[in-house]
């Protein structure tokens, strides 16, 4: 298929270079390969994103020229590694518009960030008869930690329902808030529906009851500008591997005044100031929550990923992906028998669908034979599947390196699957 390059370019007034998806694709070596003899069409970005060469280079550079432990060393390599590691923390702070570097805690990913809050904040502040509010579109990692806390403390879990378009029913959320509410924990951007939730409004409503809010930002950070101070949230978690960075590294943002009141999630080296057999004094923020040797290379790689998307501009990325989503939505809906699940007015690049009686796993297998990578299953959101009465969906999730031509290849592959199973 011949690429129509000018259509992929868009002018912007943000100080960034004009967006050219074909130039961007050159930065991602994995996109050049073939799968089963066909050019790779990678549409599984909600599961994990691909990595630009600059991120790969940063990992190689660390292990070949900078490898050392951080914070405690006085030799040259340790000083370099510490500088790069803490520099990455500053980049995250800027990315999220946090107030201070100490509000940025490195964790393994969104899941660990949520578990940290559940254990360190939840165990101290949530007791029998108290209530935690989540939504019906949450990833399992924002359901199970709260279920476990409720089982341990006698608290109760309250669920914000969603409508047929996959949008939160805000009037029901307002009814759920009350004097026993102790925490609200909601997803910013649904991984299975693509819904972008009104986080600022959710936070304002919770704060009117004096209730803190945690946001699962795993899917939002790669696709839109996130301003934690503007949103007003108290905690915000995301994973590096969704943001074109390495696996095994993530971030929990927390307001310093809350983090100061919380006990460490894990204990060990670097999270202490002093240790005797009688008493341990904990370290200052953020190190109080970073026990042991951290994922130094991962943090540096995350910093490189932030540099990369910042050069392009997350606003430019969001604008391009929105146009791609509109195109993909129209193309998929032109297929007879296709049901799109998740049609919120405010939505990002997730296309979840079913086609007639074809099981999503079978559809995914046919598409894989064409070199097309999608996800098929419940996407760790089994309550969402129950809400829409399906066991699973096929999910094509977009990134800024995807093209209209790849959407066309996907559509052609779906038609082939329909022929196979007709």
CA atoms of 380 and 142, how far apart (whole Å): 10
Strand partners, 180: none
**Nearest one of 253, 139, 232 to 189, comparing CA atoms:** 139
- 150 catalytic residue (yes or no): no
Q: Can you read off the two tokens belonging to residue 269?
A: 């080296």
**Nearest one of 406, 352, 357 to 381, comparing CA atoms:** 352
- In sign, the C-alpha dihedral spanning 6, 12, 15, 19 is negative
250's CB contacts (< 8 A; 6+ apart) are 106, 107, 108, 109, 110, 111, 112, 113, 237, 238, 239, 240
Q: Classify each residue of 231-240 as buried b or exposed e, where b means 16 or more C-beta atoms within 10 Å of its C-beta.
A: bbbbbbbbbb
**Nearest one of 202, 140, 146, 142 to 176, comparing CA atoms:** 202
**Nearest one of 382, 210, 225, 196 to 312, comparing CA atoms:** 225
Q: Which residues are catalytic?
A: 380
């Amino acid at each position: 298929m011949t690429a129509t390059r000018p259509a992929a370019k868009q002018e912007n007034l943000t100080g960034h270079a004009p967006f050219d998806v074909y130039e961007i694709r050159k930065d991602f070596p994995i996109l050049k390969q073939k799968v089963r003899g066909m050019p790779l069409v990678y549409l599984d970005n909600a599961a994990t994103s691909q990595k630009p060469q600059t991120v790969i280079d940063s990992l190689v550079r660390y292990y070949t020229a900078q490898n050392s432990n951080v914070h405690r060393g006085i030799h040259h390599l340790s000083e370099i590694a510490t500088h790069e590691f803490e520099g990455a923390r500053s980049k995250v702070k800027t990315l999220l518009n946090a107030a201070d570097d100490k509000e940025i805690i490195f964790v393994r990913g969104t899941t660990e960030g949520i578990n940290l809050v559940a254990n360190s904040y939840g165990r101290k502040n949530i007791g029998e008869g108290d209530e935690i509010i989540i939504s019906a579109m949450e990833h399992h990692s924002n359901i199970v930690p709260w279920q476990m806390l409720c089982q341990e403390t006698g608290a109760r879990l309250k669920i914000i329902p969603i409508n047929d378009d996959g949008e939160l029913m805000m009037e029901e959320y307002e009814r759920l808030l009350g004097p026993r509410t102790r925490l609200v924990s909601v997803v910013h951007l649904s991984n299975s529906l693509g819904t972008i939730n009104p986080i600022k409004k959710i936070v304002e409503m919770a704060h009117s009851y004096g209730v803190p809010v945690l946001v699962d930002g795993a899917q939002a950070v790669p696709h839109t500008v996130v301003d934690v101070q503007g949103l007003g949230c108290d905690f915000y978690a995301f994973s590096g591997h969704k943001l074109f960075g390495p696996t095994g590294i993530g971030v929990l943002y927390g307001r310093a005044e809350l983090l100061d009141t919380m006990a460490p999630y894990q204990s060990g080296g670097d999270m202490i100031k002093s240790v005797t057999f009688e008493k341990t004094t904990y370290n200052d923020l953020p190190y109080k929550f970073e026990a042991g040797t951290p994922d130094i290379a991962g943090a540096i790689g995350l910093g490189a990923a932030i540099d990369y998307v910042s050069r392009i501009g997350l606003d430019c990325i969001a604008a391009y992906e929105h146009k791609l989503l509109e195109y993909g939505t129209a193309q998929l809906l032109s297929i007879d028998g296709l049901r799109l699940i998740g049609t919120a007015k405010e939505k990002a690049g997730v296309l979840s669908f079913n086609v007639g009686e074809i099981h999503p796993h079978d559809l995914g297998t046919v598409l894989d034979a064409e070199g097309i990578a999608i996800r098929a299953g419940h996407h760790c959101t089994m309550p969402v599947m129950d809400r829409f009465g399906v066991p699973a969906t096929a999910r094509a999730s977009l990134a800024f390196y995807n093209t209209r031509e790849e959407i066309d290849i996907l559509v052609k592959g779906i038609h082939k699957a329909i022929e196979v199973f007709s």
